[in-house]
Structure 1
Amino acid sequence: MQKAWFYNEYGSIDVLQFGEFPVPKPGPGEILLKIRAAALNPVDYKKREGLFRSADCDFPAVPGCDAAGVVVEVGDGVSKLKIGDEVYSDIQHFTAGRPKQLGTLAQYTVVEEHLVAPKPTNLSFEEAASLPLAVLTAQEAFDIAKFEKGQSVFIVGGAGGVGSLAIQLAKHVYGASRIVSTASTGKLDFVKSLGADLVIDYTKQSYDQISEKFDFVFDTIGESAKSHVVAKEEAKVLDIASFQPHPRAEFFLVSPSGHNLEKLQPYIESEKLKPVIDPKSPYSFSDVIEAFKHQESGRARGKIVISPIE
């Protein structure tokens, strides 16, 4: 048996329990991962609240998508990874069927080899765990938008887990000519330091007061009903936080991929793409409740990490 956080019913943070959970065996094409660090994402608490109720996993459910750790067992057909490899992954492929019952807020989990990538050599387990879901979401957004070098981008929510990485991707990977983002008053300098050319204080300026128009609008906080107005007429508008976005916008869930993580490895190891971890992190494994409270407050800056998992 292993230690894990889980819930047996949908609801608020109060339904989370800490206890014992079976250690799984990896099936064909899967690895058993000993988790050294995990990270929280908004989808974790939205899932707990019943967001995927119509197509969810069975109870008890262990939350968590992001993890970094060490391969301790491999299933039949695993060809690239071996026992002892240090890896990281977004293990939950929400668009490929029912989510996994065993997430990453546990000491061990199983994950398909194709969702896993070698941990960048310059990152700690905590830094690596903070990246997968958020960076893959931002990467997929630019690809969906068919973003081209020299175009401009407006990123709503530049201080968040996805937004903080989207700014770095825009600057160092996709060659944006102009990057404008939004943040609250206290986070303006932080978002500017990530590479934004201009950061708009959303507490003082509304979207319809912004005269500039952009080639791509990436809304990471679900405000496409308002933010779509800064898009050029033919520009793509993506909203990853509202299941019913403005008609001008599209919603998508990330399709995780180890291959896509590997494509970003040179940018990570050259430190052009840096993890952004909330200053209150890491939270200990026993403090997961407090970590979720911080996540659900909407005040996190970057990603919330849980470590060590023991």
Structure 2
Amino acid sequence: MPISSVPGYDVAGVVLKVGSQVRTLKEGDEVYGNINEKGLDRPKRSGTLAEYTVAEENLLALKPKNLGFIEAAAIPLAIGTAYEGLQKTALSPGKSILVLRGAGGVGTMVIQLAKHVFGASKVAATSSSAKLELLKSLGADLAIDYTKDNFEDLPEKFDVIYDAIGQSERAVKAIKEGGKVVTIEPVGELAEPAFRFILTSSGAMLETLNAFLENGKVKPVIDPRGTFAFSQTPQAFSYLETGRVTGACIKVYMESKHQQ
């Protein structure tokens, strides 16, 4: 995998210049997106932790009107991973789902999308004791404290399990016959029938979900201590490495005259 010289996937900002073949965006548009279409296997060398960044038109969408730039920058990678994973499981109205690591960046989005976009009949999620109320506030019908209960030992089984922590071997014990387990964590070999996928980011996906973001049914979750000024980038990565982050991992912002 090539190493990026400038890190960063998500971006939210103002379009300053457009190429000659750009048709849907114009200078002055407020946009957001993940600038890597296939970030896990083909990341760009120049990422978004910079004053300016370049992105293809098809990877950006107009920023939801009700969100600021910091909030919008917390969304693209997490919501795209959540949405595509749920699509691949064929989650549909009336089905139940269990989200492992529900308080993480992807997990918080999976809970909300499963409930408000895909129409799941029941959403369960795991977290530590301190984050159970957060899960409920996002729409989880059942919040499971993983420090006290083993989810695979519960009598209830689920149609879909979204594994955002890398526990497919345990997850397959908690699905109904014919159920599906999707995982995003490359931890060892997958236990059948669990499967893994690589996100394909697009502005069209964000446009599809903008209505849910603008009506407040889906919202970004940013760790209360997870927002850092650009000059604090090293501290941001140090905090990320603690493994105690809630919601969106870290958000580094740059004060700019273009975002006043």
TM range (shorter): over 0.9
In structure 2, the residue matched to 1:246 is 191
- Partner Cα separation in structure 2 for residue 297 and residue 93 of structure 1: 28
Counterpart-to-counterpart distance in 2, 1:178 and 1:128: 28
- Cα distance in 2 for residues equivalent to 1:96 and 1:198: 32
Of stretches 81-90 and 206-215 in structure 1, the one that deviates more from structure 2 is 206-215
Counterpart amino acid of residue 141 in structure 1? G
Aligned partners of 1:62 and 1:104 also within 8 Å: yes
> In angstroms, what is the RMSD of aligned CA positions?
1.5
Q: Among 221, 225, 230, which residue is 2:169 paired with?
A: 225
Give the strand-richer structure, 1 or 2.
Answer: 1
Letter of the aligned partner of 2:158 in structure 1?
Answer: F
Residues 85-96 of structure 1: pairs in structure 2 closer than 5 A:
85-94=29-38
227, 235, 239: which is aligned to 1:290?
235
Aligned ranges for residues 9-48 of structure 1 at < 5 Å?
none
**Contact 1:107–1:309 under 8 Å retained in 2:** no
Unaligned runs of 5+ in 1: 1-51
Note the alpha carbon deviations across 1:2-60, whole angstroms, 9 max, x for none. xxxxxxxxxxxxxxxxxxxxxxxxxxxxxxxxxxxxxxxxxxxxxxxxxx3xxx15x6x
1:228 to partner: Cα distance? 2.0
The aligned amino acid for 1:297 is T
Count of residues paired in the alignment: 254
Q: Which residue of the partner structure matches residue 308 of structure 1?
A: 254
- Measure the CA separation in 1 of the matches of 2:169 and 2:71: 33
Contact 2:163–2:182 (CA<8 Å) still a contact in 1? yes
Percent pairwise identity: 46
CA contact (8 A) 2:12 2:30 kept: yes
Letter in 2 for 1:145: T
Deviation, 1:95, is: 6.2
Match of 1:173 among 107, 117, 131: 117
4+ residue runs over 3 A deviation: none
Residue 266 in 1 paired to residue 211 in 2? yes
Deviates more, 1:273-282 or 1:92-101: 92-101
Instruction: Name structure 2 gaps, 5 residues minimum.
Output: none
What displacement does 1:281 show?
A: 3.0
Task: Name the residue aligned to 1:84.
Answer: 28
Q: State TM-score, norm by structure 2.
A: 0.94
Structure 1 length as normaliser, TM-score?
A: 0.79
